[in-house]
Structures are given as structure tokens and as C-alpha cells.
Structure 1
Amino acid sequence: MRVNMNNPVLIKEVKLRFRSLKSFTGILFYLIAMSIFVFGFIFLTTQFTGKGFFRPDQSFFLFGLLTFIQLGLILFITPGLTAGTISSEREKQTLNMLLTTSQSSLQIIIGKLSSSIAFLLLMLLAGLPIYSLVFLFGGISPGQLGVIFLFFILTMIAVGSIGVMFSTLTRKTIVSMIATYGTMIFLSGVTLFFFLISIQVNQMSGPNPGLTQSPAPFAYFWASINPGILMYTLLNPVTENFVNMQTKIDFPVWASYIIFYVLLSFGAITISIKKLRVNMKKLK
């Protein structure tokens, strides 16, 4: 069977998004805010030291702050870009026309998802020159920055896939957004709480309270799917040693994170493809 690599849905979505003045205005204000934060941090740090020096450890701290700000933006912006991809078409009553075209469900879902991911990638790449300022003061390696960006891309795809899935399953965009943001709160906040609770329960259940006596697979699972904990392990490898020591499971946290979110993305995309035309089948 011949596979058509051309995706008109992706081309249309990219043109509409990148021709919009709002998109580039948003990127402009994002870069202005990032620049004010970086230069303000450098200025205040050099003023407080009294010597006008910006040390490598301070550069690394700035890099960590920028990384967590980027992660927060990804978790906050991605649901807003993807949670209305299909439900908005349904609300505008244009979904039926889109489904009657020659485009397959896979092309429609991938096109909608890819256009949103492309805009987020543009935002990350636009902020790369600001990131590069930390290299002037040392403390950061290009390889570390590359690993962080790969982590961002995987997280964007996973969050975007969840948003598209809820947008396909629900009829209202507001419901889809609430479900997607709720999932992000669970993955980034509730899992951290469950990790701490699981560690405490495991320590209290042992013969020596306060010490982890047996493996804690549930605690390891909650830690491995939390984006914030993984970010800490990438910035500071000691954090990964702490997780392995507390859970008694000697397996890289980043590997578990990749496996979980790749499977989650694949499952969410598969559900979106299966459920996109379910209403048309019922009508038949």
C-alpha cells in the first residue's frame, strides 16, 4: 500500500499558526521577559557580590532556573495549544467536512499535533541565544544543554498527545483543557506527593524506622514519571543517586521516564486515531 507523506492538515495548520500576529507577539514578549530575567539576575548577582564577578556556580544556578522556567512554560502552554485541536473543529462544525476529505485519521491527528509542537519548538529555539549567555561564564556544557532540549521535546510530544486525545474524546474545548491541565497537575505535582508518601510508608513498615529496608517500586515509579524530579537528576546526578538509594532500585530514572512517556504518547495518539471517526461509524 502506498503511503502518502504529504499532509495538507499539517501544512494548513502551520500556515495559519505562523501567519498569525498573535503567535509572534507571544514569542516577542516571551523573549523580552526571559531577557529581563537573565540580565536582571546577572546584574543583581554581581552587585551583591561587591566584586562585579559572575562565578561558574552562579551561571549553573541561572541555567537551572531557566530550565525550570522552560519546563513550566511547556507544561502550561502545551495543553492550551493542543486541547482544542479537534474539539474546536467540532464546535465550529467543520470536523465533518474535514473527515470527508481523503485525509486519514492518522494524518489529521499527526498534522494537528505536529503544528502545535512546531510552534513550541520555535519558541525554544528562539530562546536559545539567551540560554547561550550562560556559556560565557562557564559551568555548563553543550552536551548538558542538548540533553535538556531532548527532554523538553519528549515532554512536549507527550503532553501534546494527551491534549489531542482529550480533545478527540470530549465535545467541548473547555472540558478538554480542564482534563489536560488536570493530568499535568497530576504528573508534575501529585506524583511528587505520592513519591514522598511511598518513601515514608516503606521506611515505617521496616524493622528499622527511618531507613529503607526493601525495594519500593511504587515510590520509584512516581519519581520516574515526574518531570521535575527528572530535571533535577539531569542537572544534578546526586538526585538520581538519592532516588535509587531511597527506593532500592538501581535503574536510571531517565530510562524509565523515556519508556513511560513514549508508551503514553503512543497510546494517546492511538486512542485519538481510533476515536476520531467513531461518531461517523455510529451514524451508519
Structure 2
Amino acid sequence: MRTGIWNKSNPVIVSEMKIKMRGWRTALSITAYLGVLLLIGFLYYLAFVQNSMYYNNSINARQQAGMEIYTILAVLQFSLILLITPAQTAGTISSEREKQTLDLLLSTKMSSFGIILGKLFSAMSFILLLIVTSIPLFSLVFLFGGVTPGDMIKLFLFYIVTAFAVGSIGMFYSTLFKRTVTATVVTYLTIFFLGLVSVILGTYMVAIQMTGPSQPVNPSVPFVLYINPAVGIADIMARGSGGLLSMFGYGGATQSGVDFWILNSLVMIAIAVILLLVSVYKINPIRPVGGKRKEKGNR
């Protein structure tokens, strides 16, 4: 019987989690990660206290300070997720090739689908752990006001989707290249290239709409922006002022009436699923997706 990702115990997840969690590096990494977030937030808080006379310590001033601290922490954590996730996922399969253990893994009863998802979720478990442990730090923003629990839920859901999408890119390149260094570098370059090109093309297309002879009342968001998680996080941060399109002088909703960050998440999930399916095929082309491996003599 095949062992899949949804069984009670996926051997890949169990093994990888034991390796990751039994050492001191994980605890040290989490401490350093939270320390960076706490330091940045504390420095901004000190600046707020020193300028309290300027803010006049009013409720609106405290809410504004809370929003600014929240935005700084949100963008910083988003950047760290983009930085850490490729390093966690780009070597999942290529490292098995380098250690010459991939063939042994493929010879087990596990399906290709179970191996890929097991590797992905075991690598993402560290990212999810970082996200979860940062929740108490973000909750301190509630002391200032200006941020609701709903805003926090949207933000952390988007973090998870972003980590899943970026992790799938790293997984794809890990199956495509034999060396971990190559897979990691190409993953970072792909993320940087997609982010930069999508913003340039998207801004150009929006500028054409705005400078046209007849400006649309409800403009369409260029599809190229839907692949960029940075634009999605910008939309979440701009929710209080009308959303992404408000930055261009329009209303806050897309033509479909759905918030941009939601559509952005759906597009990224779809791309991630496609990359994972390709990764399943690449890891062992002679085995059908999710099926039993072929044996000699079978017709």
C-alpha cells in the first residue's frame, strides 16, 4: 500500500521534522528571527515616545503609531519569508541527489506525490513555526489601536499562501537541477525577476489606463500583478485607505468586486499547484502521478 501525504504518519515528514527539531539551531533561528522583529518594533516605539509631545499623546496619534508599527513589522516579516523560504525548499530534492539517497527514497512504497508534498510541508513547517511564534509580537500593536483582529488574520493567511507559493518554486527547481546551490540561486533570481518585471509592466499598463482619453471608473488590474505577492501585501496594508487601486486614485475593489489580495492569493495557489504537479513528474517520470510505480513485466 502506498504511503501518502495525508496518512497519519508520512515517513518523509516524520524524518525531516525529527532532524530539524532535535538540534539547537531551530531554537536559535527562531530567537534571532523574533529578535530582529522585536528590535525594529522597539526602535520605532522609542522614536514614538521621544516625539510624544509632537503627537500630543492623542488617541488618533496612538492609532497612527500603531498602524505604522504594524506596517513596518508586516513588511519586514514578509521580506524575511521571501528570504528564508527558498533556502528551506530549494535543496529538498537536490540534496537527496547529492547524497545519492534519492533512488533509495524512490524505491520505497511512497508515491511521488507523497514524497514531494512531504518534503514541501516538512520544509515549510519551519516557516509556519516562525509565522506562528510572531503572533504574540504582532498582538502588541492592539495596545495602540488602529488594527483589528480581522486585519491580522488576513495578513497571516497571506503569509501562509506566499510561503506555499515561494516554497513550490523552490521545490520545482530542486527537482529540475541536480545541485542545491544552483537550485537555490535560480529560485532567488526567479522571485526577484518576477517581482520586478510584474511591477514594471503593471505600472506601465495602469499608467496607460490613467492617461487615456477616457479614464475608466472601475479600472482593471493588470493580470501580471496577480503573480506578485508584494502587490498583494501592499493591498492588505492599504485596506484602511481603500485598497490597492486607491493608490491610483480609484476605488478599492477590482472589477470583479473581490479584493485584490484574495485574487492574488488564488492565482499564486494555482501556480504553486501546477509547479508541484510538474515536480511530481520530474522526480520520477516513469511513475504516474500519485500512482503505483511501474514494475518490470507489467503491461
**What CA distance in whole angstroms lies between the structure 1 residues aligned with 2:118 and 2:23?**
18
> 1:41: Cα distance to partner?
1.1
**What CA distance in whole angstroms lies between the structure 2 residues aligned with 1:36 and 1:71?**
16
Residue in 2 aligned with 1:239? 243
Q: Deviations for 1:221-240, whole angstroms, at most 9, x for unmatched residues?
A: 12332222211221223233
TM (norm. structure 1) is 0.88
Kept in 2: contact 1:202–1:214 (CA 8 A): no
Kept in 2: contact 1:187–1:227 (CA 8 A): no
Residue 275 of structure 1 is aligned with which of 268, 271, 282?
Answer: 282
Which moves more between the two structures, 48-57 or 75-84? 48-57
Quick one: structure 1 residues 2 and 32, their matched pair in 2 at CA, closer, same or farther if it must change by over 3 Å? closer
> 1:3: Cα distance to partner?
6.7
Residue in 2 aligned with 1:38? 41
**What CA distance in whole angstroms lies between the structure 1 residues aligned with 2:197 and 2:218?**
21
**What CA distance in whole angstroms lies between the structure 2 residues aligned with 1:47 and 1:213?**
46
SS in 2 for 1:84: coil
Kept in 2: contact 1:83–1:164 (CA 8 A): yes
Q: Deviations for 1:26-52, whole angstroms, at most 9, x for unmatched residues?
A: 111111222221122111111023378
> 1:12: Cα distance to partner?
0.3
> 1:99: Cα distance to partner?
1.0
Kept in 2: contact 1:82–1:167 (CA 8 A): yes
Task: List runs of 5+ in structure 1 lacking aligned partners.
Answer: none
Quick one: structure 1 residues 73 and 126, their matched pair in 2 at CA, closer, same or farther if it must change by over 3 Å? same
The equivalences for 1:86-165 within 5 A come to: 86-165=93-172
> 1:279: Cα distance to partner?
7.8
SS in 1 for 2:78: helix
Q: Deviations for 1:131-182, whole angstroms, at most 9, x for unmatched residues?
A: 1110111111111101111101111111111110110011111121122112
Q: Deviations for 1:62-115, whole angstroms, at most 9, x for unmatched residues?
A: 101111111101111100000000001101111111111111111111111001
Task: List runs of 5+ in structure 2 lacking aligned partners.
Answer: 288-292
SS in 1 for 2:20: helix
Q: CA RMSD, aligned part only?
A: 2.7
Residue in 1 aligned with 2:231? 229
**What CA distance in whole angstroms lies between the structure 1 residues aligned with 2:219 and 2:186?**
29
**What CA distance in whole angstroms lies between the structure 2 residues aligned with 1:44 and 1:229?**
28
Amino acid at match of 2:243: T
**Moved beyond 6 Å, runs of 4+:** none
Quick one: structure 1 residues 136 and 203, their matched pair in 2 at CA, closer, same or farther if it must change by over 3 Å? closer
Identity among equivalent positions (%) equals 33
Residue in 1 aligned with 2:255? 250
Kept in 2: contact 1:148–1:234 (CA 8 A): yes
More helix by share: 1
Kept in 1: contact 2:2–2:110 (CA 8 A): no
